[in-house]
């Protein structure tokens, strides 16, 4: 039981340190201090900062991807899928706000290696084939305005993710604190899906 408790403390501390200082600025000593353990014990569990970083955020993807796949592969109407997709994604990122920064960091460093790790850790990664076909079908039937499925998915992902990446900039430009920013993000669960759906209507 002690092992699980110590590992959980380390992971929670590491998430906070990575979020506060970024990967490059974080040190193993910072994580050990935040977890309330000595550095030797931290190295016993996780030999390097890279290894700890990988484990924490691969676990995050293992939580997010299955939920997204469940929505994408369902038989729900397209607009309902968009609402659920946006809602689940924003809730997941709110719980793990470091994920977008992690993705950006890893795609910059080792894009192919990162993608391979995500696909391996999540049983093949995102499965959006059925959703892509549904978007094409709805456009062909004239139910939505013509749009390439990739463009629609990129628009949705960008609207969901970028506010977390640009948080410091938004807060400075808009002169808002953490509480105000969190309120704005909570509202985006409905506002983003409404924006996307309205853009698709004829």
**Domain count within the chain:** 2
pLDDT exceeds cutoff 70 at 3: no
For residue 172, the model assigns a pLDDT of: 94
**Same domain, yes or no, for 32 and 74?**
no
pLDDT exceeds cutoff 80 at 51: yes
**Same domain, yes or no, for 90 and 140?**
yes
**Same domain, yes or no, for 43 and 94?**
no
**Same domain, yes or no, for 17 and 104?**
no
**Same domain, yes or no, for 194 and 112?**
yes
For residue 4, the model assigns a pLDDT of: 59
CATH number at residue 43: 1.10.10.60
For residue 2, the model assigns a pLDDT of: 47
Dig out the tokens for 158 from the structure: 């960008």
**Same domain, yes or no, for 113 and 15?**
no
What number is the average pLDDT over the span 175-191?
90
Instruction: Tell me the average pLDDT of the chain.
Output: 88
Sign of the Cα torsion 19, 24, 28, 29 reads: negative
**Same domain, yes or no, for 145 and 90?**
yes
pTM value > 0.75: yes
pLDDT exceeds cutoff 80 at 99: no
Question: Which pLDDT band holds residue 23 (cuts at 50, 70, 90)?
Answer: confident
Range of the domain at 93: 57-200
pLDDT exceeds cutoff 80 at 70: yes
- Specify if 173 maps to a domain: yes
**Same domain, yes or no, for 95 and 184?**
yes
**Same domain, yes or no, for 1 and 85?**
no
| The 3-state secondary structure of the chain, one letter per residue | CHHHHHHHHHHHHHHHHHHHHHHHHCCHHHHHHHHCCCHHHHHHHCCCHHHHHHHHHHHHHHHHHHHHHHHHCCCCCHHHHHHHHHHHHHHHHHHCCCHHHHHHHHHHHCHHHHHHHHHHHCCCCCCCHHHHHHHHHHHHCCCCCCCCHHHHHHHHHHHHHHHHHCHHHHHHHHCCCHHHHHHHHHHHHHHHHHHHHHHHCC
pLDDT exceeds cutoff 60 at 136: yes
- Specify if 52 maps to a domain: no
The fraction of the chain above a pLDDT of 70, given in percent, is 98
CATH number at residue 70: 1.10.357.10
Give the lowest-confidence range in 86-100, 134-148, 188-202. 86-100
Q: Higher model confidence: residue 23 or residue 148? A: 148
**Same domain, yes or no, for 118 and 188?**
yes
């Amino acid at each position: 039981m002690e092992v699980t408790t110590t590992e959980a403390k380390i992971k929670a501390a590491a998430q906070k340190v990575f979020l506060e200082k970024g990967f490059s600025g974080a040190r193993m000593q910072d994580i050990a201090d935040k977890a309330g353990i000595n550095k030797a014990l931290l190295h016993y569990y996780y030999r390097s900062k890279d290894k700890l970083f990988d484990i924490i955020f691969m676990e995050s993807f293992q939580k997010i991807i299955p939920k997204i796949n469940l929505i994408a592969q369902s038989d729900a109407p397209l607009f309902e899928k968009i609402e659920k997709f946006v809602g689940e994604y924003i809730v997941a990122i709110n719980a793990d706000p470091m994920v977008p920064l992690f993705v950006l960091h890893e795609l910059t460093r080792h894009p192919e290696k990162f993608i391979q790790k995500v696909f391996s850790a999540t049983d093949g990664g995102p499965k959006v084939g059925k959703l892509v076909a549904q978007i094409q079908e709805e456009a062909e039937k004239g139910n939505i305005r013509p749009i390439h499925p990739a463009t629609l998915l990129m628009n949705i992902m960008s609207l969901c993710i970028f506010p977390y990446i640009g948080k410091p900039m938004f807060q400075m430009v808009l002169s808002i604190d953490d509480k105000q920013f969190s309120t704005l993000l909570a509202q985006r669960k409905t506002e983003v899906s409404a924006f996307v759906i309205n853009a698709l209507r004829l």
